[in-house]
Structure 1
Amino acid sequence: MSRKNYIYNVKPVFNPPKSDKKRSSFIEYAMKKASEVDVARSTLNYTLLAINPETGSILPRFRRLNEHRACAMRAMVIAMLYYYNMESHLVEASIEKLSDQCGLSTISKLGNKSITRASRLISDFLEPMGFIKCKKEKTKFSSNYTPKKIFLTPIFFMLLHIPKSKINEYLFEYKKNSEVLKIIEKKIFISFSDIKIILNLDEKSAKNKILNALINFYTAHELTQIGPQGLKKKINIEYNNICNLYKG
């Protein structure tokens, strides 16, 4: 991309990889909200005080968004949401990756890449305004910029008019689904075909089926360590888990 193209790229757009997996319902919802509101002209951009992230002091002479930076922000907000991890609040993409996929990176005639437009938006605006928090990453390689981990803050979602209650609702559902997946992983010693059979058996027959699966799954030494009472407890737990998961 030439310097000329950089200048005239007035409306950068986030283009996610086509091969990526489907995002969660919350991410899709948040990205839709981000496309419906003008995050670059939010009242928050003018009412919040800009804070120096290193010293914590107020920045008295703070540079607000010009139109070029506003356009970059609109694309970057959607990109950050796309890679957002709800549990860790981490944006699971580097600044370079975000810059590339938003069309903000430039290549000089000598072939050197610059992500200045994206990195300055982050360090000079998004972070001081409190929309994100950044943590410097240690790297063994020399570079023109310092890699950073980006974390989205509650104020970030205020830009999108998403209430905290909505985030908590999706987070609860996410954790609930994660627990279901963990239960499924624990069932790995029982095949899905056996589970279907177990569901159609009476309790005594079903528990005998689970007992046989456990005997085949554990070694003789492990079964000795578990003991009769421990084995009985495992059978009851697995039976209840299967019933709750597949019948519930």
Structure 2
Amino acid sequence: MFKRKYVNNPYPQFTPPRNRKKRPAFIRYAMKCAAETDVARNEVCYTNQLQNPINGCVVPRKRRLNEHRARALRAMAQAMLYHFNIASTLVMASVEQLSDACGLSTLSKAGNKSITRASRLITHFMEPIGFLSCQKIWDKILGMYIPKIISLKPLFFMSFNISQARLEVVRKKQLQWINNQLKKQGKSAITFFEAERQAKEKHVYSALHFRKSKRVFKKQKNRAMKILQLEEKHARSYILKHLVRQYSIEELCSIGLENLKRKVNCEYFKLRKLAKNSAP
């Protein structure tokens, strides 16, 4: 009898994208620290209790982080740091993208992709221990979940000896650099809140663009065609109603009426384009 494999790829490694750009100095430094310190065997992984991110209850641990999950964590830490947005603290990649980059994704004989190994690492360990937080948003316009928005917490950086104070200093410098660039373009300065909002919008766009499943595309297209069967003013009203529900009062005040109208126009023409396109 052949021994069943415990995991398909026992030695996952992060592979940067082919069109990679030079990352900021802090990100390169953080990736080096994470590699040299071994984030998977830091004392935080042994001493901190796992907590349910929803209700805060302690999740009992039966054993230490096994070697297969430890290797996955080392690769995932590098991937998350590579895609880290300093000003917003968001990881600008979906779980599927991170899984593919680390070699954690698998394909069944039927050709179906599975990212369970990466997803469980995040939901069963990295989020409960306090390394990150995840936000899952339901897109009421297209009727589907947007890939998780991942935000890295100070504890994640502390696990490879980067203090919260240092992280805050770097974030302030990054925001200052962004505002200097905006000033040169004649635009208004932004806050951390605005930087996070913009990063979330960019994440949503890139994550949906990355999803090329025919099943998902068909569902999106059918949804778009159903909305476009309405008169244009009713379709725009439908889009506006669901757009408003996606934002808090603070975010709506920050966006403003003109920008909200612009978003409605963008969503409407996006639906028209989606309805006309053929499957990827």
Structure 1 length normalisation: TM-score?
Answer: 0.68
* Letter paired with 2:103: G
Distance 1:126 1:105, change over 3 A: same
Instruction: Calculate the aligned-residue CA RMSD, in Å.
Output: 2.2
* Letter paired with 1:12: P
Deviates more, 1:173-182 or 1:100-109: 173-182
* Letter paired with 2:43: T
Q: Secondary structure at the match of 2:58?
A: coil
Shift of 1:15: 0.7
- What are structure 1's unaligned runs of at least 5 residues? 188-248
Matched, 1:88 2:106: no
Q: Which runs of 4+ in 1 moved over 4 A?
A: 139-143
Distance 1:116 1:11, change over 3 A: same
Q: Secondary structure at the match of 2:162?
A: coil
Match of 2:169 in 1: 169
Deviates more, 1:86-95 or 1:146-155: 146-155
Listed one character per residue, the Cα deviations across residues 24-53 of structure 1 (whole Å, up to 9, x for unaligned) are 111111111111111111100111111011
Listed one character per residue, the Cα deviations across residues 117-157 of structure 1 (whole Å, up to 9, x for unaligned) are 000000110011011101112254668xx831111011111
Structure 2 length normalisation: TM-score?
Answer: 0.60
Q: Are the counterparts in 2 of residues 13 and 102 from structure 1 also a CA contact under 8 Å?
A: yes
Distance 1:137 1:63, change over 3 A: farther
Distance 1:172 1:142, change over 3 A: closer
1:170-209 equivalent positions in 2, closer than 5 A: 170-186=170-186
| Percent sequence identity over aligned pairs | 49
Matched, 1:121 2:121: yes
Matched, 1:133 2:126: no
Listed one character per residue, the Cα deviations across residues 49-105 of structure 1 (whole Å, up to 9, x for unaligned) are 110111111112455411111000000011011111112211110000000000000
Instruction: Specify the structure having the higher radius of gyration (Cα).
Output: 1
Match of 2:75 in 1: 75
Q: Are the counterparts in 2 of residues 50 and 62 from structure 1 also a CA contact under 8 Å?
A: no
Listed one character per residue, the Cα deviations across residues 4-37 of structure 1 (whole Å, up to 9, x for unaligned) are 8883522211111121222111111111111111
What is the aligned residue count?
182
